[in-house]
Structure 1
Amino acid sequence: MKTIAACVEELLVAQPFLEEALSRNIINYSALAEELADPVSEMLRKPVKTGAIMMALRRYSPPKDLGNSPRLKRVIESLGDITVRSNLSDFTFQNSKTLILSHSKVLQHIDAQSNVFYAFTRGILESNIIISSSQNAYIKENFKDETLLGLKEHLSAISISLPENNSKVTGLYYQIFKRLAWEGIALYEVVSTTNEFTVLVEDEVVDKAFSVIKRLKS
């Protein structure tokens, strides 16, 4: 049988911003207990007093060093170059047996064009191609026999060089996503390699997104 404490923990884990505020002691326990009263009551299928929820909140132990790990801070401070590329398009195609062949033709086509941005990701059911908009006509022609699921233009990519040990540091991506979310910036696409991280945003918010990411280092 679920307890009030278990319900409170489940709700907090689902809301990392709230959990972080709680870990920093910058939240009003009484007001939060009032906010959680209805969801906890629904989970337990019976009325729950706010006093019991407040007691569960005070006993809750958030993850240690949530965003305050010295190692995480060192990695953020050592983030590398930030590069912005504009005038990009994002094509989404349904996966097929011939899609990779079409993809290989694109690679041959842009091989000698160093100024063309290109990224390809393959999921279980669909694949994305992010490319400089100057190549849109070529993509449409080369993939004319494929099923186009979506096309988004007027996008920009912000790429960040990451330190070599970034994969062993907990919370790095969370810090990036958190700052962007706090500023109300929606991410259209995310692409990453081992030591490089790229977010795709609409052109109208690229300056704001760049500023947010640049401030991470300070």
Structure 2
Amino acid sequence: MKTISSIVEEYIKTKPFLSSALSQGIINLTSLSRLIKPEIEHQLGKEVKNGAIVMALKRLSSELEFRVTHRVLKFVRNIGEITVRSSLNDYTFRVSETLLKSQAAFMSEIEGLNTVFYTSSRGVNESNIVVSNEVAELVGKIFKNEILLEKQENLSSITVKLPKDNVNVPGIYYFIFQRLSWEGVNIYEVISTTNEFTILVNDEQVDKAFTVIKNLKSL
């Protein structure tokens, strides 16, 4: 049986940003109730008073706040080491039959160069590598026969080590990236492994991005 509370909850679940705002108590419930009233009445099949919707939103806000406080916040406070690297270049190449050989040749050349940053990822049609600016000339030489789709210079990386149970807590990446978005941080690239992720941002935004992530520990 459909109730006002169940319909309101289902509606909010489809609006991630709205759900987050409710959990933090930064939204006017009366105004929101007026906004969603037509949809609630349509789903319920009868007229609904604003007060009833407001009460449903209040109960939902408390539940959402509890979930965030006791799961996501507990998790982000235990974020591990945060590593920052600057002066990086990001290259996107079209996947080809020779690309892996080029990457292997490049890795062989930089083996033993402990100061060089290197990471790569591969999609269906594109392959991406991120390297320190100091080996940009080497990239140009080894990958000269590959199809370069895009290149971005003057990037910085922030690598965050996550607790091992991160795969069991839904909403972690959304929570972190939402904070970065709110602060106007534009993420150029995201690279992740099981227990850590790396974001690439423009050099001028790295300080702001680092502060946002570091402050998660004190929420």
TM-score range, shorter chain: 0.7 to 0.9
Aligned to 1:102: 102
Gaps of 5+ in 1: none
Aligned to 2:68: 67
Distance 1:144 1:72 in 2: 45
RMSD, matched Cα: 3.0
Amino acid in the other structure paired with 1:95: V
Distance 1:14 1:171 in 2: 14
Aligned to 1:166: 166
- Tell me the secondary structure at the aligned position of residue 179 of structure 1: helix
How far apart are 1:6 and its partner, in Å?
A: 9.7
How far apart are 1:13 and its partner, in Å?
A: 3.9
Distance 1:99 1:54 in 2: 62
For normalisation by structure 1, the TM-score amounts to 0.81
Distance 1:113 1:162 in 2: 27
Give a deviation string over 1:163-191, Cα, whole Å, max 9, x none: 22222222221221111111110100111
Match status 1:201 vs 2:201: yes
Aligned to 1:150: 150
Distance 2:50 2:94 in 1: 47
- Tell me the secondary structure at the aligned position of residue 170 of structure 1: coil
Gaps of 5+ in 2: none
Aligned to 1:215: 215
How far apart are 1:55 and its partner, in Å?
A: 5.4
Q: 1:123 to 1:8 in 2, by over 3 A?
A: farther
Aligned to 1:141: 141
Distance 2:31 2:5 in 1: 17
- Tell me the secondary structure at the aligned position of residue 75 of structure 1: helix
Distance 2:136 2:15 in 1: 39
How far apart are 1:115 and its partner, in Å?
A: 0.5
Distance 1:82 1:148 in 2: 31
Amino acid in the other structure paired with 1:89: N
Amino acid in the other structure paired with 2:192: S
Aligned to 1:126: 126
Task: Tell me how many residue pairs correspond in the alignment.
Answer: 208
Are 2:93 and 2:149, in contact at CA under 8 Å, matched by a contact in 1? yes
Distance 2:198 2:183 in 1: 18
Q: Percent identity?
A: 43
Distance 1:151 1:186 in 2: 17
More helix by share: 2
Aligned to 2:19: 19
Amino acid in the other structure paired with 2:69: N
